[in-house]
Amino acid sequence: MNKNKFFSIIILFFVCFITFQITLPAQQNEGKYVIVLHGGAGGFPKDATDSLKNAYLNSLSEALSIGKNILENGGSSLDAVEKVINYLEDNPLFNAGKGGVFTSEGKHELDASIMFGKDLSTGAVAGVTIIKNPISLARLVMEKTDHVLFAGKGADELGLKLGVPVVHNSYFHTEDQYYNWLRSNLPKQPGETVGCVALDKQGNIAAGTSTGGRQNKMPGRVGDSPLINAGTYADNKTCGVSATGIGELFIRYTVAYRISALMEFKGYSLKQACEEVMYKVLPEGAGGIIAVDKDGNYEMVFTTPAMFRAVANSNGIFKTEIWK
Ligand code: ASP
């Protein structure tokens, strides 16, 4: 081999190496993914019948499989979060979409938000009354408008304009929630709100939350779920969070963002940040959070007796749980 040929080969080698380095960010997460979801924090009784318990566990497991498959096949965390929440919104066991709680006037007003940690883009809807899947409209707010949050009539009208599936308000009605509502004219403890947080193979974190709110809420009341920073947050630099519980408390204490801020500004680990906020900042019984960080760690912390929850990751974890 002459000298020139030798140098050409060396140069070619370096060009290939540099090209490989440049394209590497696309695979920077080394195929790692994580998905966590919740179906609300509350007081689900330990003596519930096996059939009811299994109905919840099976639903959590089906929702988890939807998200896991998307992430395993290289899909985006945003798709995983939206599709998991769509499933839970369509499932009458949960207080989101069909199965949402009743307001004090006997109607349904639904809230949802979604956030993408790559560029901090967010979309949210509050008090929608005819949108079958509020999380999907929240995503369209994020992707198709210059705004972040639509409320009430304007949000319903946006849904009609963007062509999302709409339903009559009575679609959200379920016998169980109606019975709960008839039995009590006091705000019920929170429960069965749904949320999901995922880290995909590209290293992007997304988080979303969807709810019917709190039973017997006053018409027009908005909780934490559609409020970015309170009920939902995602930043690739730190973590993604979805909350469930007494929304008024999660708003006052800026819970989802506070967890991210503790990591960003105080160097807390995900576990330290979640535990600080849930155990030291919020009062006992306020609710729970699920969270995933940029390295693939996850947390599911709650101070109620139960929180429907599930986790799957690329290390083979796949589990669903209800109590502590
Ligand atoms: N956080 C929701 C709200 O206050 C309720 C819940 O999580 O159950 O609207």
Q: Report the catalytic residues.
A: 193
Strand pairing report for 121-128 and 149-151: parallel
Q: Give pTM, 2 decimals.
A: 0.91
Pair of tokens at residue 232: 């939902």
Return the number of other C-beta atoms located less than 10 Å from residue 297's C-beta.
16
The rounded distance, in Å, linking the Cα atoms of 44 and 234 is 28
Is the CB of 225 within 6 Å of ligand 1? yes
Is the CB of 200 within 6 Å of ligand 1? no
The rounded distance, in Å, linking the Cα atoms of 44 and 192 is 9
Confidence at residue 9, expressed as pLDDT on a 0 to 100 scale? 60
Is the CB of 224 within 6 Å of ligand 1? yes
Contacts of 123 (CB under 8 A, 6+ apart): 113, 114, 137, 138, 139, 140, 141, 142, 143, 145, 148, 149
Q: Which has the closest alpha carbon to 255: 290, 231, 279? A: 231
Q: Which helix (H) or strand (E) holds 35?
A: strand 34-42
44, 93, 102, 211: residue to mutate for ligand 1 pocket, most atoms within 8 A of CB: 211
Confidence at residue 285, expressed as pLDDT on a 0 to 100 scale? 96
Distance, CA 287 to ligand 1 centroid (Å)? 9
Distance, CA 226 to ligand 1 centroid (Å)? 10
Q: In this structure, are residues 136 and 82 in contact, taking their beta carbons and an 8 Å threshold?
A: yes
Residue-level pLDDT, tens digit, the chain, 324 residues? 566 665 566 555 555 454 444 444 444 578 899 999 999 999 999 999 999 999 999 999 999 999 999 999 999 999 999 999 999 999 999 999 999 999 999 999 999 999 999 999 999 999 999 999 999 999 999 999 999 999 999 999 999 999 999 999 999 999 888 888 888 765 555 679 999 999 999 999 999 999 999 999 999 999 999 999 999 999 999 999 999 999 999 999 999 999 999 999 999 999 999 999 999 999 999 999 999 999 999 999 999 999 999 999 999 999 999 999
